[in-house]
Chains A and B, each alone.
Chain A
Amino acid sequence: MTSTVRSQTSHLAIGNQRVALIDLLDRVLGGGVVIAGEITLAIEDVDLVHVSLRAVIGSAGTLRRLADG
């Protein structure tokens, strides 16, 4: 397994620096494994958060900041 993944190193190193916040939030809030009932923050809360976050992001002020982020 290690050998197959090793060649990703340069890709991942480069990719990490270019990560835009908006694409990152899609993944860390909308992706990732979800373990129900055993997390401190309930899943429904995260989804609600995501919704409110989208609303916040949608305002013009933060839009520019996110584009730069």
Chain B
Amino acid sequence: VSEDGLRWVYAVARTFDEHAVKDVRGVAGAPARAVETAHLVAVVSDVDSAEFGSDQLRSNFEDLDWVATVARAHDEIVHAIARNTAVIPFRLGTVYTDDERVREVLAERASEFNAALDFVTGRIEWGVKIYVRPDAIASPAGGRTESTKDGAGTAYLMRRRAQLTARETATQDAAREAEAAHAHLTSIAAAVHTYPAREWSPGAQAEILNAAYLVDESRTEEFRGAVAELRDGCHAAGLDLTGPWPPYSFTAPASAAAP
């Protein structure tokens, strides 16, 4: 442990099993280790101040490749810890000057961390993204008229109008389906968090909903089954399920209780 190194924090938990992270490298290649107080453990790894110091960290965060690499390393450690115990993940880029500062934070925030750990214990986060299905837009219910009698220009305008109507109808239908799906999934979940929906997504569909659900482990199959049923039942909306996730979206009971 170098004296001028910094401490990157992955998560807080009540226990730490070093075997859980023995095959995983931290954000800067250093192994994850525990910084402990009486009842809480922060999982940290040493990082170099040349790369993770205040100014460098800020400029590195502008580099998407750097962020992607660090995000994956951070997540791998958090996932590894979550296999054995409840965890409260830290926001990417939480860095302290030394172990003592980390211990101070654990002590200062002990009741907050304990409440958050109680809240997520025995629960799993799932992500559901709902979007307008491209095939719902591409195949309007009214069918197509191939008549050429009206001339090419008119035919084009009619086709164009039909396309726009189909898109509008599909978007409205999908929004209605998404609302119903969200209500149903919320009724199964212990808590819900919604992220901003993107106007684009990797599949190029506009997202309607980008939500995280914290689900009791005992209701895992019920939740997954509900997602599968909703996917089958929706004709305009598509559903993507991601997870299981460590409870990134539910790190405080108060915020998790908010709509």
Instruction: List residues of chain A with CB under 8 Å of any chain B CB.
Output: 1-2, 4-9, 11-13, 15-16, 18-35, 38-41, 43, 45-46, 49, 52-53, 56-58, 62-63, 66-67, 69
B154 within 8 A of A: no
Q: Give Cα A66 to B203, complex, Å.
A: 10
A22 and B202 within 8 A (CB): yes
Q: Binding site of B, secondary structure by majority: helix, strand, loop or mixed?
A: mixed
Could you show 28 A-B contacts with beta carbons less than 8 Å apart?
A1-B15, A2-B85, A5-B82, A11-B244, A19-B72, A19-B242, A25-B67, A28-B74, A33-B12, A33-B116, A33-B252, A34-B91, A35-B94, A35-B109, A39-B91, A40-B52, A40-B54, A40-B95, A41-B95, A45-B61, A46-B61, A46-B91, A49-B58, A52-B62, A53-B64, A57-B64, A58-B200, A63-B204
- Asked if B86 and A5 sit within 8 Å, CB to CB, the answer is yes
Tell me, yes or no, whether B89 is within 8 Å of chain A by CB. yes
Report B223 CB to chain A, min CB distance, Å: 12
> Chain B residues near A11 (CB, 8 Å)?
124, 220, 243-244
B235 at the interface (CB under 8 A from A): no
Q: Mark B50-91, 1 if CB is under 8 A from A, else 0.
A: 001110011001101001100110111001001111101111
CA distance A38 to B116 in the complex (A): 19
Q: B251 within 8 Å of A by Cβ?
A: yes
With an 8 Å Cβ cutoff, the count of chain B residues facing the other chain is 64
Query: 18 additional contacts, CB 8 Å, given A34-B94, A35-B105?
Result: A1-B85, A2-B85, A4-B217, A8-B82, A11-B243, A12-B79, A12-B244, A19-B72, A21-B68, A21-B72, A27-B89, A31-B193, A31-B212, A31-B249, A34-B91, A40-B53, A46-B92, A63-B200
Interface residue? B225 (CB, 8 A):
no
Question: What is the predominant secondary structure among interface residues of chain A facing chain B?
Answer: helix
Assembly CA distance A23 to B198 (angstroms): 11
Q: Is the CB of B58 within 8 A of A41?
A: yes
**Contact A8 B83, beta carbon cutoff 8 Å:** yes
Residue B29 lies at the interface, judged by CB distance under 8 Å to chain A: no
CA distance A46 to B95 in the complex (A): 13
Which 8 A-B pairs have CB atoms at the shortest separation, nearest pair first? A67-B202, A31-B248, A27-B248, A32-B91, A40-B95, A33-B251, A28-B92, A41-B93
- Within the complex, the shortest CB–CB distance from A66 to chain B, in Å, comes to 6
- Taking CB atoms and an 8 Å cut-off, the chain B residues in 215-248 that contact chain A are 217, 220, 242-246, 248
Contacts known (A4-B121, A45-B61, A53-B64); A25 close to B202, Cβ less than 8 A:
no
B96 lies within 8 A of chain A by Cβ: yes
Identity of the chain B residue whose Cβ is nearest the Cβ of A25 in the assembled complex: B71
